[in-house]
Chains A and B, each alone.
Chain A
């Protein structure tokens, strides 16, 4: 029975081909927009997850509030950890290794110009980990055991001094010579952090400044599952040491990951919400087309009723027609969405490469997305043909047969 209805519906659509195509184009565009945005969002989620999950056993402890202000090695908040904090942390069970990031400032001189610059010292191994996602403009990371080598941010290399600094160049810091072994690529928007830094090994930093102002502590845990509880323990211990409730913030990569994923999720929801407006418009289009079709086929409906079609038969024929139209639109939309998401990614990538990030983004269309798209288009088709179908079914066979 349903097959017969579907056959009738299909023939009607084919009979009004250009109108059907135009109507389903609306659905196709709506679904394309949704698919593209979902694919992009999914791609972003996965890229971020991939980037961060390799660091899932890392806990970052920062002094004085929000760790994001110091994440990336930029500014210091003026509050530092003490040696006692480090010792306390080392005593906690389940921690594999602890390393620190030191912050301070010094007088840098190059090509006859002197300026005050913030200095960051950290273990070379941590350095690679922390800046792993950043492009290098030239040179490479510091090597374990090297002395008097530094890495510099892009602005320091090109903007701070009168002349550009290149790899192998010499900068005097507090009167001592350092060789530039690597220059970071320009971070641009959202990541000013590494543009203005001078990065050196902890040993050089201590030797140079005579200070050991610890602004950040990195540690790795043995078991990723313990990360959250260890983070809490550390936070409590350090806060107690300093007699402040919110002196330290211990953040696990997992929680950063969750935050980032949440942000992307919300962003995705908003974008998809906007794209859904296209679907609403498309569903009005279907309703309009179906109403026209009902009017045009008044006679046909009457004939079918006269030869024994029930209200249900007529409703079913028209609803299937709407559903067929929109699900074909949905399938076309999915195909277009595959291309759309690729195009969108290319555009985004070119933006990001301007920003100098090596972040690898590619769109991901999951089975769930496809199923969702088909379901949504089916539902849109059914809902928007309900009223036209009801109108058709309600027609009296006499009126309809008499209709010219």
Chain B
């Protein structure tokens, strides 16, 4: 029995005040275990991004509690949340979101830098990670010198840099061609096989069906599709 990495208790996110209050997410209870491979699906505006932001500690719930690795993060301040993001969560975005002025190696090192890892250890680790995503020959290339698929692989390496408990990927294949998309999915699945928890937000059903669990969001309500 593996341990819970994320537990949400009745989390809601609302915007505005009654009577004009809008529920972006309603009374959601989730239990995500170490090594889970989850796809979150739903139409635009369904609350996918809101859930993603909450699970990624980019935002705080209006009500309810979120536990990450057993500790309640729903009441933490900005800097404490930054620490959680740095240590527990690895982000992969649809548009890669690499820092354009830094090369591949430096991009991977960046979050380790924020975590205070010394420069030697950092470079060594970053090289290992870039090797894992098959980019050993692209270390000193800037994002603008890399293809979409390559940039996304740098982003995966970056997400793994601080040994996070959870990888949160928002449409990771949304901006790349089919072949690169497949490559990216395989890397993520390999990472998952090694025990990493992966949460993918997508509206691509083919991608979603590869996951072990699928959560469907509709109008702010989350339903488990199959377990």
Q: A307 touching B116 by the CB < 8 A rule?
A: no
Q: Which range holds the interface residue count of chain A?
A: 20 to 34
Residues of A within 8 A of B91 (CB): 306-307
Q: B58 touching A306 by the CB < 8 A rule?
A: yes
Query: Given A1-B116, A11-B102, A398 and B87 touching (CB < 8 A)?
Result: no
Please measure, in the bound complex, the distance between the C-alpha atom of A111 and the C-alpha atom of B55, giving whole angstroms. 109
Residues of A within 8 A of B113 (CB): 1, 4
Q: A305 touching B93 by the CB < 8 A rule?
A: no
Please measure, in the bound complex, the distance between the C-alpha atom of A3 and the C-alpha atom of B93, giving whole angstroms. 27
Q: B100 touching A307 by the CB < 8 A rule?
A: no
Residues of A within 8 A of B79 (CB): 310-312
Q: B87 touching A300 by the CB < 8 A rule?
A: no
Q: Which of A171-212 contact B (CB under 8 A)?
A: none
Nearest-neighbor residue (CB-CB) of B159 within chain A? A307
A18 at the interface (CB under 8 A from B): no
Task: Report A125 CB to chain B, min CB distance, Å.
Answer: 74
Instruction: Write out, one digit per residue, whether chain B residues 70-81 have a CB within 8 A of any chain A CB (1) or not (0).
Output: 000000001100
Q: B93 touching A307 by the CB < 8 A rule?
A: no
Partner of B114, one of A3, A14, A310: A310
Q: A300 touching B86 by the CB < 8 A rule?
A: no
Please measure, in the bound complex, the distance between the C-alpha atom of A76 and the C-alpha atom of B10, giving whole angstroms. 102
Task: Report A391 CB to chain B, min CB distance, Å.
Answer: 15
Nearest-neighbor residue (CB-CB) of B85 within chain A? A308
Q: B97 touching A12 by the CB < 8 A rule?
A: no
A401 at the interface (CB under 8 A from B): yes
B59 at the interface (CB under 8 A from A): yes
Residues of B within 8 A of A308 (CB): 82-83, 85-87, 111, 114-115, 162
Task: Report A234 CB to chain B, min CB distance, Å.
Answer: 73
Q: Which of A379-404 contact B (CB under 8 A)?
A: 396-398, 401
Task: Report B84 CB to chain A, min CB distance, Å.
Answer: 8
Q: Which of B160-209 contact A (CB under 8 A)?
A: 162
Q: B85 touching A307 by the CB < 8 A rule?
A: yes
A309 at the interface (CB under 8 A from B): yes
Q: A15 touching B162 by the CB < 8 A rule?
A: no
B33 at the interface (CB under 8 A from A): no
A304 at the interface (CB under 8 A from B): yes
Task: Report A311 CB to chain B, min CB distance, Å.
Answer: 6
Please measure, in the bound complex, the distance between the C-alpha atom of A310 and the C-alpha atom of B86, giving whole angstroms. 9
A228 at the interface (CB under 8 A from B): no
B99 at the interface (CB under 8 A from A): yes
Nearest-neighbor residue (CB-CB) of A312 within chain B? B79
Residues of B within 8 A of A313 (CB): 114
Nearest-neighbor residue (CB-CB) of A307 within chain B? B111
Q: B101 touching A306 by the CB < 8 A rule?
A: no
A278 at the interface (CB under 8 A from B): no
Q: B101 touching A307 by the CB < 8 A rule?
A: no
In the assembled complex, 23 residue pairs joining A and B whose CB atoms fall closer than 8 Å, in A order, are A1-B116, A4-B110, A4-B119, A8-B102, A11-B102, A12-B101, A303-B99, A304-B110, A305-B85, A306-B85, A306-B91, A308-B111, A308-B114, A308-B162, A309-B114, A310-B82, A311-B78, A311-B79, A311-B82, A312-B79, A313-B114, A396-B59, A398-B59
Known contacts A299-B97, A305-B85, A307-B110; can you find 17 more A-B pairs with CB under 8 A?
A: A3-B119, A4-B110, A4-B113, A8-B99, A8-B101, A11-B101, A300-B99, A304-B99, A304-B114, A307-B91, A307-B111, A308-B82, A308-B86, A308-B114, A310-B83, A311-B82, A396-B59
